[in-house]
Chains A and B, each alone.
Chain A
Amino acid sequence: MNADFITPLDAFTIIDLILMLMLLIVGLAIVRLNDIFAIVMLAGVYSLVSALWFVSLDAVDVAFTEAAVGAGISTVLMLGAMLLSSRTALPAKPVRKWASFFIVLATGAALMYAVTDMPSFGDPLSAPNAYVGLEYLKRSLPDTEIPNVVSSVLASYRGYDTLGETSVILTAGLGVMLILGMGGKINGQLKKKAIDYDNADAQAHHTVLRVVSKMMIPLIVLYGFYVQFHGDFGPGGGFQAGVIIASAVILYALIFGVDAAKAAVPPLVVRIGAALGVLIYGGTGIAGLILGSNYLDYNVLDPHSAPHGQELGIMSIEIGVLITVCSVMLVIFYGFTSRQPDITDKDW
């Protein structure tokens, strides 16, 4: 701990405090509610407020991901699961409530005891901030010619970590597939049965939604690619772009029906894509091996200039991440939609 540094109480700290207060209120509201729909919505709000706080804490990439994933995809998945299960939670018994309260109190007290050892908020010389992080900030531009240090650390300096995480995402997608089924049968039925694009009821109620989403979906996909390829210079990258493109397909499914979405992006393609992304990532590493260097060493990819080789390698693995993340999100979405909901329209 650096005793010389005192956190200033400036406007940013006040913004932090207000956002923390909002987080506390939302957290307590989730504790008290029993309506699952409200709980899921508040969980989305919690993620969105966290994303705001991450912007204030200079973590723009994280904020971007949290807003797209936590407030977007998570909420859709939670709502899907809610539709397939139930809408209200039974209130907890008082004994259980008090028992949990005391467990939480004890755990919290133990963690609070550890707070005294933590570095001051915003301390530039604290152990986490002074050494490796600063080294990356200094070396990123000469080494890789990529201004966004988060992208270069993610894809190059700590490429192994990201390979592992991409594999975890693939594994999660496989898990959902094994639990909920492949969602592929419907594709076979599609050829026999024409897709019900002109369902009279849907047409009457969703004209505005259809027109606007037809306008927006190409723009969302375009924005996803912008995020992908601009990720070297600003916030963004494969993870965010994958989620954004998947959300465009999910929007299409929500407005025009899952069958139409499955016709546009077939489950088989999505399943192949989930594995293909990891293959591209791992293949980039093997290309380094073949060219006579270490696994995931991009310096050798361009024989004339090491930074350019780095740029090439980072772009290639980011494309792998994009394909895997986008495909796995859709695998999960198709898995959930292939189940019949118990809740009918009347229950709403």
Chain B
Amino acid sequence: MSTVLEILHIARFGLAGVFLLGGGFFVLAGAIGVLRLPDFYTRLHAAGVTDTMGSTLILLGLMLIAGFTLLSVKLALVGLFLFLTSPTATHAVANAAHKAKLKPLLGTYRQTRKGDNEGGSQ
């Protein structure tokens, strides 16, 4: 009986570690994307990855470590808050850019590079 519990215990922390590392990976990918992608809209897309996959996985990992406690409930509430606010924030930013008539880059990256150098770098 106790060995089963021990295995579950180890599995819980192992799984939490996997979630945290995965979350870290997505946050890193989002950060690289924000730096490397060519125009505003694609960068916004990369930033969205940080909010959705990154933070969700990290919160899940932390909840696994916390177990069935009040802390987990609080983390779940934080997750719910992020779930509602981050898409809204992304929408607001994209909407503002669209309203300000910022054109997205169309075609392949090289074509746009050759075509106009100013496009979308702001």
A–B touch (CB < 8 A): the answer is yes
Roughly how many angstroms separate A215 CA and B84 CA in the complex, as a whole number? 9
Say yes or no: A205 contacts B99, CB within 8 Å: yes
User: DSSP class of A's interface residues: helix, strand, loop or mixed?
Assistant: helix
Interface: B7 (CB within 8 A): no
Interface: B92 (CB within 8 A): yes
Roughly how many angstroms separate A219 CA and B88 CA in the complex, as a whole number? 16
Bitwise, B83-95 to A at CB < 8 A (1) or not (0) is 0110010011001
The distance from the CB of A42 to the nearest CB of chain B, in whole angstroms, is: 15
Residues of chain B lying within 8 A (CB to CB) of residue A219: 81
User: DSSP class of B's interface residues: helix, strand, loop or mixed?
Assistant: helix
Please give me the residue from chain A that is nearest to B88 by CB atom: A212
Say yes or no: A212 contacts B95, CB within 8 Å: no
Interface: A216 (CB within 8 A): yes
Which B74-122 residues sit within 8 Å CB-CB of chain A? 81, 84-85, 88, 91-92, 95, 99-100
Say yes or no: A209 contacts B88, CB within 8 Å: yes
The distance from the CB of A175 to the nearest CB of chain B, in whole angstroms, is: 33
Say yes or no: B100 contacts A212, CB within 8 Å: no
The distance from the CB of B69 to the nearest CB of chain A, in whole angstroms, is: 14
Known A-B contacts A205-B95, A208-B91, A209-B92; A348 and B85 likewise in contact (beta carbons under 8 Å)? no
Roughly how many angstroms separate A205 CA and B91 CA in the complex, as a whole number? 10
Residues of chain B lying within 8 A (CB to CB) of residue A208: 88, 91-92, 95
Residues of chain B lying within 8 A (CB to CB) of residue A216: 81, 84-85
Q: How large is the interface on B (under 10, 10 to 19, 20 to 34, 35 or more residues)?
A: under 10
The distance from the CB of A141 to the nearest CB of chain B, in whole angstroms, is: 21
The distance from the CB of B81 to the nearest CB of chain A, in whole angstroms, is: 8
Residues of chain A lying within 8 A (CB to CB) of residue B95: 205-206, 208
Residues of chain A lying within 8 A (CB to CB) of residue B92: 208-209
Residues of chain A lying within 8 A (CB to CB) of residue B99: 205
Residues of chain A lying within 8 A (CB to CB) of residue B91: 208-209
Residues of chain A lying within 8 A (CB to CB) of residue B81: 216, 219
Roughly how many angstroms separate A9 CA and B84 CA in the complex, as a whole number? 40
Roughly how many angstroms separate A208 CA and B99 CA in the complex, as a whole number? 15
Bitwise, A179-219 to B at CB < 8 A (1) or not (0) is 00000000000000000000000000110110010011001
Please give me the residue from chain A that is nearest to B92 by CB atom: A209
Residues of chain B lying within 8 A (CB to CB) of residue A205: 95, 99
Bitwise, A213-240 to B at CB < 8 A (1) or not (0) is 0011001000000000000000000000
Roughly how many angstroms separate A219 CA and B82 CA in the complex, as a whole number? 13
Roughly how many angstroms separate A348 CA and B102 CA in the complex, as a whole number? 11
Say yes or no: A348 contacts B88, CB within 8 Å: no
Which A230-268 residues sit within 8 Å CB-CB of chain B? none
Known A-B contacts A205-B95, A208-B91, A209-B92; A348 and B100 likewise in contact (beta carbons under 8 Å)? yes
Residues of chain A lying within 8 A (CB to CB) of residue B88: 208-209, 212
Roughly how many angstroms separate A232 CA and B99 CA in the complex, as a whole number? 46
Which A290-348 residues sit within 8 Å CB-CB of chain B? 348
Roughly how many angstroms separate A215 CA and B81 CA in the complex, as a whole number? 11
Which B18-54 residues sit within 8 Å CB-CB of chain A? none
Please give me the residue from chain B that is nearest to A346 by CB atom: B100
Bitwise, A160-173 to B at CB < 8 A (1) or not (0) is 00000000000000
The distance from the CB of A107 to the nearest CB of chain B, in whole angstroms, is: 35
The distance from the CB of B16 to the nearest CB of chain A, in whole angstroms, is: 17
Roughly how many angstroms separate A134 CA and B109 CA in the complex, as a whole number? 62
Residues of chain B lying within 8 A (CB to CB) of residue A215: 84
Residues of chain B lying within 8 A (CB to CB) of residue A348: 100
Please give me the residue from chain A that is nearest to B99 by CB atom: A205
Residues of chain B lying within 8 A (CB to CB) of residue A209: 88, 91-92
- Chain B interface (Cβ within 8 Å of chain A)? 81, 84-85, 88, 91-92, 95, 99-100
- Chain A interface (Cβ within 8 Å of chain B)? 205-206, 208-209, 212, 215-216, 219, 348
Those 4 A-B pairs whose CB atoms lie nearest each other, nearest first: A212-B88, A208-B91, A209-B92, A348-B100
19 A-B residue pairs with CB within 8 Å: A205-B95, A205-B99, A206-B95, A208-B88, A208-B91, A208-B92, A208-B95, A209-B88, A209-B91, A209-B92, A212-B84, A212-B85, A212-B88, A215-B84, A216-B81, A216-B84, A216-B85, A219-B81, A348-B100
Given contacts A208-B88, A209-B88, A219-B81, 4 further A-B contacts (CB under 8 A): A205-B99, A209-B91, A209-B92, A216-B85
